[in-house]
Amino acid sequence: MKELKATMAGTVLNVLVAEGQAIEAGQAVCTLESMKMEIPVEAEVSGKVESVQVEIGAFVNEGDTLLTFSE
């Protein structure tokens, strides 16, 4: 089980993937808003989403887990 962490603090604008979904490296999995800018968060490697750890509107800090996935 691997974790995809937020690279910077921000508010979760949307979540683009669901549990059980296959994802590919480079695919946008969610969007964060930080410093008035929308920042797409991309999957680093391909795999399958095991669990989504955040909700839309939630504030995450740098290093917080956004989702877990298996390769």
Residue ranges binding other proteins (CB under 8 A): 8-11, 13-14, 34-37, 39, 56-57, 59, 62
CB 5 within 8 A of CB 67: no
From the CB of 21, what's the least distance to other proteins, in Å?
Answer: 19
Amino acid at 1: M
Q: Rounded distance, CA 56 to CA 71, Å?
A: 25
From the CB of 6, what's the least distance to other proteins, in Å?
Answer: 10
Max CA distance (Å), the chain: 33
Closer by beta carbon to other proteins, 6 or else 69: 6
From the CB of 63, what's the least distance to other proteins, in Å?
Answer: 12
